Amino acid sequence: MKSPRKVLMVAPLFFLLTLHTSASLAYDDQSSSRPSNGHVCIGCVLVVSVIEQLAQVHNTTVQTSMERLCSYLPEKLFLKTTCYVVVRMFGPDIIKLLEADMNADVVCHTLEFCKQDPGQPLCHLYPLPKDTWKFTLKKARQIVKKSPTLTYSRSDSDICSLPFLAKICQKIKLAIENSVPFKDTDSDKYSVFPTLRGYHWRGRDCNDDDKTVYPGRRPDNWDARQDSNCNGIWGVDPKDGIPYEKKFCEGSQPRGIILLGDSAGAHFHIPPEWITASQMSLKSFFNLPAALTDELNWPQLSGATGFLNSTSGLKEKSIYLRLRKRNRCNHRDYQNISRNGASSQNLKNFIESLSRNQLLDHPAIVIYAMIGNDVCNGKINPVPEMTTPEKLFSKVMQTLRYLDSHLPNGSHVILYSLPDGTFLWDNLHNRYHPLGQLNKDVTYEHFYSFLNCLQVSPCHGWMSSNQTLRTLTSERAEQLSNTLKRIAASQKFANFNLLYMDFDFQEITEEWRKTGGQPWQLIEPVDGFHPNEVALQLLADSFWKKVQLQWPQVLGKENPFNPQIEQVFGDQGGH
C-alpha cells in the first residue's frame, strides 16, 4: 500500500507526474543514484509543450491556452485547483518566454526545472535553437530576470516540498486516506473499492465485513446460506433442496488466475489524449483521477485479468474472462499481483500480497510474467545493472518455493519468457511521438535519447540508437528466458505443475498484420515502450490457444451447467 500513496502525493502536478510513473519502472532500489530532477524536467517539457501547442492549435495567446488546459482538468484530487495555482506561479514567465519564441526545452531550463549538471550532456527534446544554446539561455534568463518565481530550488524531485504546493499535497493525502479504508491484513486483501488496488486488481469482495468470504475459496457448506466465494452462485434450489453451488460447481474443477507481473501485466497506459493538443477537450481527462489512483495502470483492461470489455474494439478477451466463460464457477477469481518496475529481483517485496489459502481455496493458474525489468533500466551504462542468469535462477527458485508453500495442490505455474525488445526501435524510431506530431519535430529517436540523457528511460537498452546495446540487451533477455525454460524443465514442486511459455512478439505482430494492422500500433504511443491494450489482448489470445493445445488440463473442464448458472444467476453480481 505504500507505493500508491507515494504516487498520490505528487498527483496534483499530474503533468510532472505523467512520465514520473512511467519512468519509475525502476522504482525499487535505483532511485538513490538517479539524477533527482529528470522526471521534473520531463514533466515541465511536457506541460510547456502542451500549452504551446494548444495556443498554436486554437490560435490563442499563451495565457488563454493555459486557462484552457486548466479548464479541461477535473476537480477531483484538486487537479483543477492545482493547475490554476501552478499557472499563477509560473504563468507570467512561461508567457514571456513562449511569446519570445523560446521552445519548451529553453523554458524549462530557464525556469530551472531542467538542469545541465557540470560535465553532463545537455538534455533536450526538440531540435536545438538556431543561435547557440548558451546564447539563447542567456537571452531567456534576461527575459525573466526580475521574476519573483525563481526563488525556489527546483532541483528537488519531490514537488510537494515546494512551499506553495505543500498545503495542497497535504490536503490530497488526507482526502484519500480518509475516504478509502486501507487494508493491510491478509484476509482483507479483497475490496469493494475499484482503485487503490481494489477490485480493478482482484475479484470484488462480496461481503467486506466477513473475513471468511472472498473469491477463490472452496464453498463453505456448498454456499447454501451465503455466497462464501463471491462467484455469485449460492442458495438452495427450491425444487429439490440441493444447494446450487453443489449442483452446478461440484466436480467442475474451479480455479483462479493470478498474475505475477510488472507494468505490462498491470497494463500501464497514458492516454495520448492527455498530451495531444489537437485532440484535447473537456472529455480528455475524465479518467485521470481514477488512473492516478491505479498508479496509471488499467488492470481492469489487461490481458490476463481484465474484466471490462476492451476499449479497442477487439473481440479477444482476457484470460480471466475466458476462464470464467469456460466455467462460470470461476466468476471473480482473479488477482493481479503486478507492479510498475517489478522484476525477478524485487518480486519478493510484494509477493506476499498474493492471497491463496492452501487448505481452503481452489487451485490457481499463476502466470509469472516479469517481461522486461530484468534487462531494462535507465542507467547511462545499462548492461552491468541487468540481472544475470545466476541471479535470476536463484530468485525465481525462491519465488517458486514461496508459491509451493502457498498454492493449493493441483495448481499450475507458467513461466513467461522475456520478449526480444528490438521491435521497439525498429518500428518506432523514425515515427513521430505524440508531442512531435503537430510540428513534425520530435520522433521516438529524439524522445528516447531525451529519456536516456536524463537517465529516466524505462529501458535504455532497447530504447536506444546504439545497435550494439540493443543487441546486447536482447542477448541477455534470451539468456534469461533460457534460464526460465531450464527451470521449468528440471524442477518439480509438490503443489503445482511448472510450465514455460515463449513470449513471442513476432507471432503477435504477424497475427496483427493479417488483420491489416501495423506493428507500431501495438505499442503505447506516449511511453513508446509498453505493449498496448490491443497487444495485451492478442497476447492473451495466443496464450490461451497454446495452453489449450499443449496443456488443456491447465484450464480445467468446460462446465456443462454454464447455461443454467446464467439462467438462475444472470451476471452473477458482475465485477
Ligand X SMILES: *[C@@H]1O[C@H](CO)[C@@H](O)[C@H](O)[C@H]1NC(C)=O
Rule CB under 6 A: is residue 338 a binding residue for ligand X?
A: yes
Instruction: Please identify, among the stretches 461-469, 497-505, 536-544, 551-559, the one whose residues bind ligand X according to the rule CB under 6 A.
Output: 461-469
Residue selected from 143, 472, 487, 568 as contacting ligand X according to rule CB under 6 A: 472
Instruction: Please identify, among the stretches 79-87, 128-136, 395-403, 463-471, the one whose residues bind ligand X according to the rule CB under 6 A.
Output: 463-471
Backbone angles phi, psi at 531, to 5 degrees: -65, 140
Alpha-carbon distance of 83 to 70, in angstroms, equals: 5
CA 318 from centroid of its chain's CA atoms: 16
Task: Compute CA distances 145 → 54, 117, 133, 163, 569, whole Å.
Answer: 26, 21, 18, 21, 69
| DSSP calls for 111-150 | TTSS---TTSPPP-SSPPPSS-HHHHHHHHHHHTTT-GGG
How many residues in the chain?
A: 575
Residue selected from 64, 309, 405, 548 as contacting ligand X according to rule CB under 6 A: 309
Alpha-carbon distance of 30 to 36, in angstroms, equals: 11
Cβ proximity to ligand X: between 109 and 470 the closer is 470
Rule CB under 6 A: is residue 469 a binding residue for ligand X?
A: yes
Q: To the nearest whole angstrom, how small is the minimum distance from the Cβ of residue 254 to ligand X?
A: 15
State the first-to-last Cα distance of the chain, in angstroms, to the nearest integer: 22
Residue selected from 147, 149, 284, 466 as contacting ligand X according to rule CB under 6 A: 466
Rule CB under 6 A: is residue 490 a binding residue for ligand X?
A: no
Rule CB under 6 A: is residue 405 a binding residue for ligand X?
A: no
Instruction: Please identify, among the stretches 68-76, 124-132, 169-177, 334-342, the one whose residues bind ligand X according to the rule CB under 6 A.
Output: 334-342
> Which set of grid coordinates corresponds to residue 447?
524522445
Backbone angles phi, psi at 463, to 5 degrees: -95, 65
Residue selected from 39, 339, 406, 429 as contacting ligand X according to rule CB under 6 A: 339
254 and 262 Cβ atoms separated by less than 8 Å: no
454 and 41 Cβ atoms separated by less than 8 Å: yes
Residue selected from 57, 236, 383, 554 as contacting ligand X according to rule CB under 6 A: 383
Instruction: Please identify, among the stretches 124-132, 337-345, 394-402, 451-459, the one whose residues bind ligand X according to the rule CB under 6 A.
Output: 337-345
SS (H, E, C) 230-294: CCCCCCECCCCCCEHHHHHHCCCCCCEEEEEECCCCCCECCCHHHCCHHHCCCCCCCCHHHHHHC
Q: Print the binding letters for residues 169-198 with ligand X: x by CB under 6 A, - otherwise.
A: --------------------x-------xx
| DSSP calls for 5-21 | HHHHHTTTSHHHHHHHH
Q: To the nearest whole angstrom, how small is the minimum distance from the Cβ of residue 324 to ligand X?
A: 12
Q: To the nearest whole angstrom, how small is the minimum distance from the Cβ of residue 125 to ligand X?
A: 20
Q: To the nearest whole angstrom, how small is the minimum distance from the Cβ of residue 446 to ligand X?
A: 16
Nearest alpha carbon to residue 302 among 354, 275, 266? 266
Residue selected from 85, 277, 337, 367 as contacting ligand X according to rule CB under 6 A: 337
Residue selected from 193, 350, 520, 551 as contacting ligand X according to rule CB under 6 A: 350
Q: Which of 191, 252, 263, 449 is labelled catalytic?
A: 263
How many residues touch ligand X under the rule CB under 6 A: the total is 24
Q: Print the binding letters for residues 239-278 with ligand X: x by CB under 6 A, - otherwise.
A: ----------------------------------------
Residue selected from 59, 151, 185, 490 as contacting ligand X according to rule CB under 6 A: 59
Alpha-carbon distance of 322 to 307, in angstroms, equals: 10
Alpha-carbon distance of 119 to 195, in angstroms, equals: 43
Cβ proximity to ligand X: between 109 and 204 the closer is 204
415: Cβ–Cβ under 8 A, 6 or more apart, which residues?
A: 368, 396, 484, 485, 487, 488, 498, 499, 500, 501
Q: Print the binding letters for residues 277-306 with ligand X: x by CB under 6 A, - otherwise.
A: ------------------------------
Residue selected from 134, 240, 359, 494 as contacting ligand X according to rule CB under 6 A: 494
Rule CB under 6 A: is residue 308 a binding residue for ligand X?
A: yes
263 is catalytic: yes
Alpha-carbon distance of 428 to 444, in angstroms, equals: 6
Radius of gyration of the chain (CA): 25
Give me the residue whose beta carbon is nearest to ligand X. Answer: 201
Cβ proximity to ligand X: between 108 and 400 the closer is 400
Q: To the nearest whole angstrom, how small is the minimum distance from the Cβ of residue 466 to ligand X?
A: 4
Interface positions with ligand X (CB under 6 A): 59, 189, 197-198, 201-202, 308-309, 336-339, 350, 353, 381, 383, 409-410, 466, 468-469, 472, 494-495
Catalytic residues, by residue number, are 263
